[in-house]
Amino acid sequence: MTMTTTRLEHDLLGDREVPAEAYYGVHTLRAQENFQISGITISTMPRLIEALAAVKAAAAKANLELGLLPQQQADAIVAACAEIRNGALHDQFVVDVVQGGAGTSTNMNANEVVCNRALELMGHQRGEYQYLHPNEHVNMAQSTNDVYPTAIRIAACFAIRNLLGAMTHLRNAFAAKAEEFSGLLKIGRTQLQDAVPMTLGQEFSTYAVMLEEDMMRLEKAEKLMYVINLGATAIGTGITAHPEYASRSLRHLREITGLDLSTAPNLIEATQDCGDFVELSGVLKRIAVQLSKICNDLRLLSSGPRAGFGEINLPAMQAGSSIMPGKVNPVIPEVVNQVAFEVFGNDVTINFAAEGGQMQLNAFEPIIAKSLQRSLGLLATGCITLADRCVSGITANEERLRQNVESSISLVTALNPIIGYKLATQIATDAFVQGRNVRDIVLERQLMSEQDLDDALSAELLTQPRAYTKK
């Protein structure tokens, strides 16, 4: 007795042999053959798969309530979707994430996997579509054009929650270092030139604040993802769907996902408009810009360690050179810089894809979905990596900080309100030309008493506003 290795399935173009063990069907098979583009399949996007399964379950429940889908079929679909949402059968989502057809292949892939698993739960064989059909039953009252963008939005919400958690973790790491370094005076810098003093704690606190501000913007952008077009079907008119389908499927989808979803007020507009994705991507780009700037600062502050700034020490993570013994590179900030660069590129891709839509549908949502999920995932792992493998292990080079402050000509700025700009400029010039420090010159010229000078140059007064009285 020979084991059957394939099963015969039929579509618009004819009959095809599908692997017997596969949960996907003929539509997925053709898409797999057509779109060998990136080498990255839907299986690498678990949040999108979970979102698709949530949509299919919500649709089945709504159609059951409306008397359009028999109980046994609805129950099997819902059960299959629950398994997929819990991680089962993700390897069966085999279509390339970059695909033509506005996401139709992804929707078909989901329909077939859900259907064939549901058939098994009903006691049938995969491919026995006379009992349950991928399009007629699993896709009832749906179109790729409302299923796919709805799933993209839900998947984005899941990924945003993950990113917010990662950003909170990194923010807390910077805040802890800000507290640890609160008493360490250092020279601030503008245009890479010595500026006025600050504390190392103040420097690190700014990084925490930058992240907090971006988290607020990300939370605002997340709310845009809550507005879905499920029930729009093909172009937003709701053709083939029951008049109550949109409201009922929304209610079930809210219950399944736990998200505060709502139906777009104009489904025709919502089906063609990708502006919300552009706005979310813009926020992700801003986060990437800030992270990259922070990493640039960390690399500069730790540079040297002897011939550079050398004010902080990054944890040594690996040998830095194949030829220079003892060299250690800032590899963690460097990799997060590269995360940011890819996010920048993804933002450009999303902008072009959104602009490229025509009439009632944007055909380029697959690349938007890929780019959004990629950016969200990269930023989250970048934040965690930066926090755990770099920031938490940073130490201060206190001696270098002290030397830089004492030798900096910029200290004269603190004396401006006391001795005047003209005299302060002379002192600064002399200090530079003679290679001396500001303190010694001021005392030598008896411009201030030692006590007054100590007071004016104290760490507390150098790093915050003060009311001055000229002598």
The residues assigned a catalytic role are: 321
Q: What does each C-alpha distance from 66 to 60, 236, 246 come to in angstroms? A: 10, 20, 11
The token pair that represents 288 in the structure block: 């990437």
If you search the block for the tokens 């690399």, which residue do you land on? 299
Q: 365-389 and 46-65 are packed helices; what angle lies between their axes, rounded to 10 degrees?
A: 130
Separation between Cα atoms, residue 114 and residue 55, nearest integer Å = 11
Cα angle 439-445-448, degrees, rounded to a multiple of 5: 65
Which residues contact residue 142 at a Cβ distance below 8 angstroms, ignoring those fewer than 6 apart? Answer: 55, 59, 107, 230, 233, 241
Cα 141-93-126 angle, rounded to 5 deg? 70
Distances (CA, A) of 23 to 45, 84, 136: 18, 12, 17
Distance of CA 85 to the CA centre of its chain: 22
First to last CA, the chain: 107
